[in-house]
Amino acid sequence: MEIHSTGNTPVVAASAAKPGIATEAPAAANPAPVETTLAVRQTAPAPEAAELAQAVKNLNKAMREQDQSLEFSIDADTNHTVVKVVDQSTKEVLRQIPSQEALEIAKALDRSIGLLIRQKA
Can you give the residue ranges of every domain in the chain? 3-41, 49-120
Using CA atoms, how far apart are residues 73 and 54, in angstroms rounded to an integer? 11
pLDDT at 12: 47
To 5 degrees, how large is the angle CA 17–CA 23–CA 25? Answer: 130
pLDDT digits (tens, 9 = 90+) for 67-96: 788 999 999 888 889 999 998 888 899 999
